[in-house]
Amino acid sequence: MTETSTSQVTIPAAGEHVTPPLGRFHRIFKAPYFNIALIVGCGIFVSTFAQAGVLGLYPLRFLLKDKLGEGPLRVALFMQLANMPWNIKILAGIISDAVPLFGTRRRHYLLFSSLLAGLLWLAVTVVPVRFLPLLIMTMMMNVALVFVSTISGGILVEGGQTFGVTGKLSSVRVLAMNIASLGVPLGAVLAAMTLGVSALTAAVPLFLLFFVVLFLYKEKPTARRDPKVLRGIWAQLKIAMKAKSLWFAAGLLFLVQFAPGFYTPLMFYQTDALHFSEKFIGLISLCSAVAGAVGALFYVYFCRRFTLRQLLYACVFFTSALALLYLGYNDRRSALVIEIVYAFAVSLAQLPLYDLAARATPKGSEAVGYSIIVSVWNWGLLVSDLVGSGLYEKYHMTFKNLVWVNAGTTLLALIAVPLLPALLVDTRESDGEAGAAPAPEAA
C-alpha cells in the first residue's frame, strides 16, 4: 500500500508491503489507523443498534401485541425467528472470505449490506401489517445486518494486525456495542409512535455508514476466490465437533438458558396487569442497561480469586435465586428497583458462562468453536422464551408462577457442573500463563 494525501485507508492484500497512510485524519490525530477505527466503530455500532432485537425490540413487540392482537407465544416466536440469522453468523464470514464481491472481500460487502439493511428497514413499514410479511422482511433485514457486523469484524482483525493495534480496535468494538445497546430503551420510547419513526431511526445510521465506507475505506479489487478457505473451515469444524470440552460447555449453557423464560410474558404483565407506558418501560430498560454494564466490571475481581468451577456453581445458584425477585414486581417503584438489581447481579452472575465459552473453544478453531457456543446459547434462549410464553398464554400460568418455574428449572443445570473437565474449570484467571486458563485441545 502506498502513501496517500487523501483521507482514505486501503487494507493491503496478503503479502503486500504496508506503509501507514498520511491522510487528513492521520495528520490531525497522529494515528494511521484512525479511519479503520472509524469504520469498525461505525459498523459495529450500526449493526447492533439497528437490530430487530435492539432498537426494533419494543416497536415490533407492541405492533404485534396491540395492532395484530398476537399473544405472548406468537410475539416470542416472531422475535426469535426474526433474529435467527444471528445464529448462523459464521456463514457470512465464510462467504466473504471465500467469495470476493467485485474483487474485494470487505468494501463492497459492507457497502451493499449497509445500504440494503437500511432499505429493508424502510420496507418493513410498507409491507402488509400481518405476521408473515413482517417476519420475512425483518429476517431479510437482519441477514443484511449480520453481514455488516461480520465484515466490520473482519476489518478489525485485518486492520489490527496490519498496524499492530488489535487491542485498541477491540476496545472500539466494545465501546460501540455498549453505546448501541441504548437502542433498546430508545426503541421503547419510539414504540409509542408509528413504526415508520423507528424504521427511519434505524435506517439513517445505516445510510450514513454507506457514505462513510464509500469515501473513507478503499480496498484494491485484487481478491480472488480461494477454495482453500472452505477446506480450512471444514477442517476447523471437524476439530470442533470432536472437542469434548466444547460440548460439555455448550450443554451447560443450554441447560442454564433452557429454563422456561419470562422475557416476553414480562412485557405483557407490565402493560396488561401493571399498565406501564412505553416511556416507563424505556426508562426501566435504560436503567437496566447501565446497571448491567456496571455489574460486568466486578467480574475482574472474582475471576482472580475463585476457580471457574466455583464461579459456575455460584452462577447457576444466583441466576435461579435472583429470578425470585420478580415475585415482588407489583408497581412502578418495585419494578424499577428489581430490574436494576437483577440486571446488575445477573450480568455479574452469568459472566462465568461467557468465561467458560472462551476457555472451551478448541485451540486453532477459535472462530468456529465460539460460533458454535454462541449458537447453542441463542437456541437455549429461543426455547426458553417460547416455552415460557406458551405456558403463560396456552396454559394460563400466572407471571409469578412462571417465575417459580424458571427459578426451579435453572437449578437443574447444577448437575452438569461436576461433569466439566478439571483442566477447563479448576483454575483461577491468574493461575494460567498470562492470566488465562490453557485452551483445550480437541479430544
Please give the grid coordinates belonging to residue 388.
415460557
Check whether residue 154 and residue 237 sit in a common domain: no
240 or 76, which is more confident? 76
Q: Among 200, 225, 250, identify where a domain stops.
A: 225
Q: Is the pLDDT of residue 3 over 60?
A: no
Q: What is the mean pLDDT of residues 300-318?
A: 84
Q: Are residues 286 and 413 in the same domain?
A: yes
SS3 425: helix
Residue 209 lies in a domain: yes
Residues 202 and 271 in one domain: no
What is the CA angle 441-152-41, rounded to 5? 115
Please tell me whether residues 176 and 295 are part of one structural domain.
no
Longest dimension (CA), the chain: 67
Measured between alpha carbons, how far is 368 from 338 in angstroms, rounded to an integer? 37
Mean pLDDT, the chain, integer: 81
Question: Residue 193 belongs to a domain with what CATH number?
Answer: 1.20.1250.20
Residue 36 has pLDDT above 90, yes or no: no
Identify the CA nearest to 284 among candidates 320, 324, 348, 332. Answer: 332
Percentage of the chain modeled with pLDDT above 90: 35
Last-in-domain residue among 185, 210, 225 = 225
What distance, in Å, lies between the first and last C-alpha atoms of the chain? 42
Domain enclosing residue 184, as ranges: 1-225
45 and 153 in a single domain? The answer is yes
Same domain for 272 and 339, yes or no, is yes
Indicate whether 234 and 380 sit together in one domain.
yes
78 inside domain? yes
Q: Do 214 and 250 have their domain in common?
A: no
What one-character DSSP code corresponds to residue 223? -
Q: How many domains, in total, are found in the chain?
A: 2
* Among candidate residues 187, 210, 225, the one where a domain is terminated: 225
Q: How far is CA 304 from CA 301, 314, 436, in A?
A: 6, 15, 10
Is the pLDDT reported for residue 148 higher than 60? Answer: yes
- pLDDT tens digits, residue range 412-431? 888 888 888 887 787 776 54
Return the residue matching grid coordinates 492470566.
Answer: 435
Measure the CA dihedral 42/125/268/254, to 10°.
Answer: -50
Q: What's the pLDDT score for residue 226? A: 66
* pLDDT of 204 higher than 80: yes
Shared domain check, 169 and 91: yes
Q: Does any domain span residue 64? A: yes
Report the C-alpha gap between 210 and 216 in whole angstroms: 10
Whether 221 is in a domain gets the answer yes
Q: Is residue 80 part of a domain?
A: yes
3-state secondary structure of 239: helix
Contact 420, 312 (CB under 8 A): yes
Q: Is residue 50 a contact partner of residue 205, using CB atoms and an 8 Å limit? A: yes
Alpha carbon distance 310, 303 (integer Å)? 10
Mean pLDDT value of segment 270-293: 88
**Residues 214 and 272 reside in one and the same domain:** no
Regarding whether 263 and 219 lie in a shared domain, the answer is no
**What pTM, to 2 d.p., does this model score?**
0.75
Same-domain status, 207 and 259: no
Q: State how far the Cα of 291 lies from the Cα of 321, in Å rounded to an integer.
A: 18
pLDDT over 80 (residue 301)? no
Residue 443 belongs to a domain = no
